[in-house]
C-alpha cells in the first residue's frame, strides 16, 4: 500500500526526500506539491480549502496511507473525512485542527500575531517565508541541519507563489476541523515536537484524544519539522504504525 505525503505551508514535496529514501525498500512513497507550491501551478480557483481538497482527491491512489504535515495534515484530515474508503491509515505531523487561537481554543496562534504575519506577508513575502523557515526549526535538536534541508528543498524545487501563500494563510486563519474529529474512524498516528513554535504540542495531544483510533508520539527536542531533525526516531514511529495490524 503506498504512502502519500502532503507538505505544509510555503514548502514543497522535496522536504520528504529523506523519508522517501528511508522507506524506499519497503513501500512506494508519493509526495505531492500543494497548489502553487514547488512545481504545481497556481490558479485563482484553488484559493479555498474546499477547492484544494477537490484538487487533491483525484491524485490519491484508490487505497493508501496518508501523511500530512502542518497545513498538509489539515488537508489529510479533511480528505480522510471526505473519502474514508480511500485512506487506510492517517499520519498527522505537527498538525492542529485549528491554527488560530480563540476563546475556546488555547493551542493556537493569537489573532494579533497572525495579523502581523499576514501584514508582513503582503509587504515582503520572501522575507516572511525566510522567517518562517527559522521558526519551524527553533528549539529543535540539529536545527541548523533541519533548516538547511528546508532551504535546499526550496532551492531545488521552487518557492511557493505569493498568491498561494496568501490563500494558504487565509485558510489557516479561518479553518476549524474540531467537529469532524470524533467521526474519523481511520487508524491515526499523531506526531508532535516538544518545542514546536508553530503548532503547540497541546494541539496534537487534543487531536489524538479526539480521534477515536489515534495514538500520540511526542519527540523530545523537536520543532515543527521532526521528520527532518529526528529522522531516525520519526521513521521508526511511522514504520511501526504503518506495519501495525
Which residues are marked as active site? 70, 196, 224
- Rounded distance between C-alpha atoms, residue 198 and residue 14, angstroms: 20
The residues that bridge with 214 in the sheet, in sequence order, are: 188
| Separation between Cα atoms, residue 239 and residue 236, nearest integer Å | 5
Vertex 74: Cα angle to 168 and 197 (nearest 5): 75
How far, in whole angstroms, is CA 180 from its chain's centroid?
18
Strands 64-69 and 188-193: unpaired
Give the separation between CA 46 and CA 43, rounded to whole angstroms.
5
Amino acid at each position: 500500500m503506498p504512502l502519500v505525503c502532503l507538505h505544509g505551508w510555503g514548502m514543497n514535496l522535496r522536504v520528504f526526500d529523506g523519508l522517501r529514501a528511508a522507506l524506499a525498500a519497503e513501500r512506494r512513497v508519493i509526495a505531492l506539491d500543494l497548489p502553487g507550491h514547488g512545481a504545481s501551478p497556481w490558479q485563482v480557483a484553488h484559493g479555498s480549502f474546499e477547492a484544494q481538497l477537490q484538487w487533491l482527491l483525484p491524485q490519491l491512489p484508490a487505497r493508501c496511507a496518508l501523511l500530512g504535515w502542518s497545513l498538509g495534515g489539515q488537508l489529510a484530515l479533511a480528505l480522510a473525512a471526505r473519502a474514508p474508503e480511500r485512506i487506510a491509515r492517517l499520519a498527522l505531523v505537527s498538525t492542529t485542527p485549528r491554527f488560530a487561537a480563540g476563546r475556546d481554543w488555547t493551542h493556537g496562534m493569537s489573532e494579533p500575531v497572525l495579523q502581523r504575519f499576514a501584514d508582513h506577508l503582503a509587504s515582503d513575502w520572501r522575507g516572511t517565508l525566510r522567517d518562517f523557515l527559522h521558526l519551524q526549526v527553533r528549539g529543535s535538536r540539529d536545527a541548523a541541519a533541519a533548516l538547511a534541508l528546508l532551504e535546499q528543498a526550496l532551492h531545488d524545487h521552487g518557492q511557493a507563489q505569493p498568491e498561494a501563500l496568501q490563500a494558504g494563510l487565509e485558510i489557516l486563519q479561518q479553518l476549524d476541523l474540531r467537529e469532524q474529529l470524533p467521526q474519523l474512524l481511520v487508524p491515526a498516528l499523531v506526531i508532535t515536537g516538544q518545542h514546536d513554535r508553530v503548532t503547540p504540542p497541546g494541539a496534537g495531544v487534543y487531536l489524538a484524544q479526539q480521534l477515536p483510533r489515534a495514538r500520540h508520539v511526542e519527540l523530545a527536542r523537536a520543532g515543527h519539522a521532526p521528520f527532518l531533525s529526528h529522522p531516525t526516531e520519526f521513521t521508526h514511529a511511522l514504520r511501526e504504525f504503518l506495519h501495525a495490524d
